Amino acid sequence: MFRLDGKVALLVGGGSGIGEASAHALAANGAHVVVADLNGEAASRTADAIVQTGYAAEGLTLDLTDAGAVEDAVAGILRQHGRLDIGVSSPSINVRKPLLDYTPEEFERVLRVNMGGTFNLLQSAGRAMAEGGGGSLIAFSSIRSQVVEPGQSVYAATKAGTLQLLRGLASELGGRGVRANAVAPGVIDTPLTAPIKNNPQWYEAYAQKSVFGRWGRPEEIAGAVVYLASDAASFVTGTVLFVDGGWTSMDGRFTPPL
């Protein structure tokens, strides 16, 4: 029930990190994956690596914040493959600083990528899926949609907003066979979180917030994407799947002497 044979997926942000791992996982389970990224060379590297392992993929340069480009990409996939079954939006950026120190330009930039870009993919892919009779839309939220820390307010707002976009879309398109869900990772070792490694105390504090005492790996998120894309999740829509190592289930960082 987890197989994706015969399905076509558009995964944006597949040049690195969670997106790259998810592209490999979708392809390994049978999907033809269009790996898109603002960095076209990175997208092509991911696609080539997938093909070298015997699965089907192609690379595409795509700016998720360009609504016209996203619409054209979806139209191109429909022309070439005749269908679009899976749409995944993974790119995010973060300007980590106190809210009172944010500039209007920084605020707009984070919203434009995290919310605006996700909106563009959900709208274009969602329209194609509704007209085609079904599909699965997946976007990345975060533990920050639920819990926040200093310096994360704007990023957290976009991740909460992403979740609500998906819930609204699920309610609107469910009758046309389209599911819409979010994946909410915890702290994952990716380029986005790489700067934290420069502060060992900070890095270790995040590790200990997981019940496993470590950071997550991108490939540990990919299974959630495959699940939500597959028929195994045929009755799952409008929800969020946390893959956070228990972060949101624990109360604080101190284990009482029991």
**Residues belonging to the active site:** 155
31 to 42, 44, 99, 145, 220: CA distances (angstroms): 20, 17, 41, 29, 19
What angle is formed at CA 13 by the lines to CA 29 and CA 141, rounded to 5 degrees?
Answer: 90
Amino acid identity at 244: D
Cα–Cα dist 107/109, whole Å: 6
What angle is formed at CA 7 by the lines to CA 37 and CA 17, rounded to 5 degrees?
Answer: 30
Name the burial class of residue 8, with classes exposed (0-12), middle (13-18) and buried (19+) by CB atoms within 10 angstroms of its CB: buried
The 10 Å Cβ neighbour count of residue 130 is: 17
Cα–Cα dist 97/132, whole Å: 43
